[in-house]
Amino acid sequence: MANRFTSVSDVVERLHAADYLASTSIASVVYLADRLEKPILVEGPPGVGKTELAKALATTIGARLIRLQCYEGLDESKALYEWNYKKQLLRIQADRSHDTSWTDLETDIFSEEFLLTRPLLEAIRAKEAVVLLVDEIDRIEVETEALLLEVLSDFQVSIPEFGTIKGAQRPPVLLTSNNTRELSDALKRRCLYLHIDYPDLEREREIVRMRVPEIDEALAGQVAALVRSIRQLELKKAPSISETIDWARTLIYLGSGKLDADTIEETLYVLLKYQADIAKARKELRRTPERAWESAVAGGPGAAR
């Protein structure tokens, strides 16, 4: 299979064209995963761009994104495949009046016509370019995690009634985790590991400028500095990058050319999603001007360094 990227810098440039600012470490793992044909296990706190990386990668290589959203209780029938039991029953009832042997009937009802594909099998059988995203894999049980091993190792799936279906290609595979539980060594062994954290001040400012192009540089720097300071508080939920972008857009819609205490207090609900977090941030805002995060807002992108 032809390599999708020529170098690490090629990954950086092409992801940038898809509105994803990738660090060298992110681009290196993506490049090596492509060359080694290995899945990527992407861990990090919620909202740092793990899922967005898969979306940007699909855009970059012109592929369709197939997403398996994991949740507690996810089983094989929702992740891989299941049989259309109602349709099978109708076929059995229709054949009662014919002299059809059970062997022939069994072969018939466990055929392609009755197979319902789910995301993993859909990715395996895809003929066109795809990217497979297994999102929030840490939310499923260990037993369900085990069914992924055959897919990750050989990109194939064994169906007892149907046989082994092998993938026509080896597409990029990304598994994301918020690290709410420890994943098995067997799964980790099959993947390259990538940890994504909240961006530093300068990178978040660049992200804001990219995703909200109408914002000026000074305001983008103030937004990034304030969000960075808010994340340092003990919160139930720290602001994600997408919430930073939403807040920047909010300021543009409100016609705010700069941050001040009143504007911040009135729009904190865009950044924070718990009343206790909003109250804590407001209390911090009203403290003495010597507070680091207020100094950061006053000074723009360079003040918080």
Give the pLDDT confidence score for residue 98 in this predicted structure: 66
Q: Higher confidence at residue 247 or residue 142?
A: 247
Q: Give percent of the chain with pLDDT exceeding 90.
A: 61
Long-range contacts of 113-116 (CB under 8 A, 24+ apart): 113/87, 114/83, 114/84, 114/87, 114/88, 115/81, 115/83, 115/84, 115/159, 115/162, 116/81, 116/82, 116/83, 116/84
DSSP code per residue over 198-238: ---HHHHHHHHHHHSTTS-HHHHHHHHHHHHHHHTS--SSP
Q: Higher confidence at residue 81 or residue 110?
A: 81
| pTM of the complete model | 0.84
pLDDT of 87 higher than 90: no
Q: Higher confidence at residue 99 or residue 63?
A: 63
pLDDT of 207 higher than 50: yes
Q: What are the angstrom distances between the C-alpha of 186 and each of 40, 150, 165, 298?
A: 14, 11, 22, 50
pLDDT of 294 higher than 80: no
Report the length, in residues, of the chain. Answer: 305
pLDDT of 292 higher than 50: no
Mean pLDDT of 71-93: 84
pLDDT of 71 higher than 70: yes
Give the pLDDT confidence score for residue 238 in this predicted structure: 94
Provide the residue ranges of all domains of the chain, joining segments of one domain with +. Answer: 8-74+120-195, 81-117, 201-299
Whole-angstrom distance, CA of residue 25 vs CA of residue 33:
12
- Is residue 285 very low, low, confident or very high in pLDDT (cuts 50, 70, 90)? confident
User: 8-74+120-195: which CATH architecture?
Assistant: 3-Layer(aba) Sandwich (3.40)
Are 58 and 131 in contact by the 8 Å Cβ rule? The answer is yes
Exposed e or buried b per residue across 260-271, where buried means at least 16 C-beta atoms within 10 angstroms of its C-beta: eeeebeebbebb
Query: What mean pLDDT value characterizes the chain?
Result: 87
Mean pLDDT of 66-88: 88
pLDDT of 273 higher than 50: yes
Give the pLDDT confidence score for residue 111 in this predicted structure: 75
Long-range contacts of 262-269 (CB under 8 A, 24+ apart): 264/226, 264/297
Give the pLDDT confidence score for residue 1 in this predicted structure: 53
Of 171, 79, 165, which is closest to residue 130 (Cα–Cα)?
171
pLDDT of 186 higher than 60: yes
